[in-house]
């Protein structure tokens, strides 16, 4: 299948290229960038030197629609909502990595993103691109919207215990740590190395936009409104996410109950591992050992002292939290082996 990538110079676009260029069922024919038009893609993504001679091109919609069967949007938030409808009208399959179509309710965009949605009629047509929750819908979809990176880690960690009714859904606290690549590739003072190095900085302490999609997906899962308190922190690493979720149980909970819930949810999932070991240094999830992969490691501990359940979830924010999720959805949409192009071993 011939595919295009709109917005190929960012970190998510670079990871898409890394994964798709070695995918046996993909031909990347167009990668766009206004800033780097006619430059080789390896100028922005030096790890691709010797792998491809592709050059960035201007985002010419007619050319892209005439050349591609499927298009990935790896554009900044707020861009794809105005570009994407024309592609859908022409029957082009779409996988959008931005936040523009993640929320079903258009009234939530002014609250969480600060703008009115220009195409609210498309929000219900977009399938939320988390295969572990929406595989069958993704299989028949023409338009998939991938989840946010911290939302992905949080939803996967929480979904089984919320679905089983083990916890109070009015009081879920999520503490997230994320590497600097989560802020995107545009330089800022917050991402400047001397400011970031050695620090652990909270930001958007209340009202972070990923709260909305976490609440949306968990509420759909359990059939009632779920409330989440979410706070992220920038950590001294380039990539990776660890979310620590604090939940209060509705009754007496045993380890075997939680194990059973996770096994039932994820036993057949190729990219989810339950990590709760008794030996070794990495007894619980740590983003360090999933970097470069599409894996999500999930672990838990029960705190009987205060009837608390602690869930830990670790991913690579640019792979499982962005490009890898998109490729996983691509495989499902096209009836391919889900692991195709994603059989990646983490480095340690």
pLDDT digits (tens, 9 = 90+) for 219-234: 999 999 999 999 999 9
Distance CA 162, CA 154 (A): 12
- pLDDT tens digit string along 46-57? 999 999 999 999
Are the CB atoms for 299 and 284 separated by under 8 Å?
yes
Environment class of 219 (CB within 10 Å of its CB; exposed 0-12, middle 13-18, buried 19+) = middle
The pLDDT, as a whole number, for residue 187 is 67
Across the range 70-88, mean pLDDT stands at 93
The pLDDT, as a whole number, for residue 198 is 81
The pLDDT, as a whole number, for residue 185 is 62
The pLDDT-based confidence of 196 (bands split at 50, 70, 90) is confident
Nearest to 309 by CA among 226, 228, 249: 249
Distance CA 212, CA 323 (A): 21
Structure letter (DSSP) for residue 294? S
Please provide the average confidence, as pLDDT, over all residues in the chain: 94
Structure tokens at 149: 């990176």
Across the range 263-285, mean pLDDT stands at 96
Secondary structure of residue 344 in the 3-state scheme: coil
User: CB under 8 Å to 243, separation ≥6 — which residues?
Assistant: 150, 153, 154, 157, 174, 175, 176, 177, 311, 312, 313, 314
The pLDDT, as a whole number, for residue 312 is 98
Across the range 262-288, mean pLDDT stands at 96
Structure tokens at 222: 């359990």
Domain-by-domain residue ranges, the chain? 2-125, 150-317
Beta strands in 21-130 (DSSP E): 27-32, 56-57, 70-73, 93-96, 127-128
* HEC assignment per residue over 91-112: CCEEEECCCCCCCCCCCHHHHH
The pLDDT, as a whole number, for residue 132 is 98
Residue 328: pLDDT over 70: yes
Across the range 109-134, mean pLDDT stands at 95
Number of residues assigned to the chain: 348
Task: State the DSSP H helix or E strand holding residue 201, giving kind and residue range, or none if neither.
Answer: strand 201-202
> How far, rounded to the nearest angstrom, does the alpha carbon of residue 36 sit from its chain's CA centroid?
26
Domain 2-125 homologous superfamily, CATH: NAD(P)-binding Rossmann-like Domain (3.40.50.720)
Distance CA 289, CA 197 (A): 21
**Active site (annotated) includes residue 149:** yes
Pairing of strands 241-249, 167-178: antiparallel
Higher pLDDT, 270 or 193: 270
The pLDDT, as a whole number, for residue 194 is 79
The pLDDT, as a whole number, for residue 157 is 98
The pLDDT, as a whole number, for residue 181 is 75
The edge-to-edge listing of strands for the beta sheet with 201-202 is: 201-202, 228-234, 167-178, 241-249, 308-315, 296-303, 272-274
Catalytic annotation, pick one of 146, 149, 245, 329: 149
Distance CA 29, CA 1 (A): 10
Are the CB atoms for 147 and 129 separated by under 8 Å?
yes
Structure letter (DSSP) for residue 336? -
Distance CA 118, CA 121 (A): 9
C-alpha angle with apex 281: 277 to 279, nearest 5 degrees? Answer: 40
C-alpha angle with apex 128: 185 to 274, nearest 5 degrees? Answer: 85
The pLDDT, as a whole number, for residue 186 is 67
The pLDDT, as a whole number, for residue 347 is 87
Are the CB atoms for 12 and 318 separated by under 8 Å?
yes
Residue 83: pLDDT over 70: yes
Structure letter (DSSP) for residue 283? S
CATH number of 150-317: 3.30.360.10
Are the CB atoms for 166 and 253 separated by under 8 Å?
yes
Structure tokens at 245: 């979720």
């Amino acid at each position: 299948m011939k595919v295009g990538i709109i917005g190929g110079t960012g970190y998510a676009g670079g990871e898409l290229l890394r994964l798709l260029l070695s995918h046996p069922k993909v031909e990347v024919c167009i990668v766009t960038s206004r800033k780097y038009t006619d430059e080789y893609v390896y100028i922005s993504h030096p790890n691709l030197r010797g792998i491809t001679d592709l050059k960035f091109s201007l985002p010419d919609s007619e050319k892209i629609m005439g050349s591609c069967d499927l298009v990935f949007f790896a554009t900044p938030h707020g861009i794809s909502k105005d570009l994407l409808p024309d592609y859908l009208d022409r029957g082009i399959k779409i996988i959008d990595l931005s936040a523009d179509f993640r929320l079903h309710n258009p009234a939530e965009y002014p609250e969480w993103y600060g703008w009115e949605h220009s195409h609210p009629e498309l929000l219900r047509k977009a399938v939320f691109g988390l295969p572990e929750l929406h595989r069958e819908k993704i299989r028949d979809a023409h338009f998939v919207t991938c989840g946010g990176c911290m939302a992905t880690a949080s939803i996967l960690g929480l979904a089984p215990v919320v679905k089983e009714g083990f916890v109070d859904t009015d009081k879920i606290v999520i503490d997230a740590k994320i590497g600097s690549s989560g802020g995107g590739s545009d330089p800022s003072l917050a991402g400047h190395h001397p400011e970031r190095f050695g620090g652990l900085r909270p930001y958007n302490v209340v009202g972070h936009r990923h709260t909305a999609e976490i609440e949306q997906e968990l509420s759909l899962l359990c059939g009632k409104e779920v409330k989440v308190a979410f706070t992220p922190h920038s950590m001294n690493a380039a990539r990776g996410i660890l979310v620590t979720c604090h939940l209060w149980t509705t009754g007496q909970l045993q380890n075997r109950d939680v194990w059973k819930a996770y096994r039932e949810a994820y036993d057949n999932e190729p990219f989810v591992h339950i990590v709760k070991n008794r030996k070794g240094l990495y007894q619980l999830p740590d983003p360090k050992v999933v970097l470069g992969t599409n894996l999500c490691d999930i672990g838990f501990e029960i705190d009987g002292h205060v009837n608390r359940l602690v869930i830990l979830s670790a991913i690579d924010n640019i792979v499982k939290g962005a490009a890898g999720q998109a490729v996983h959805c691509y495989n499902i949409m096209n009836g391919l082996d889900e692991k195709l192009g994603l059989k990646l071993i983490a480095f340690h």
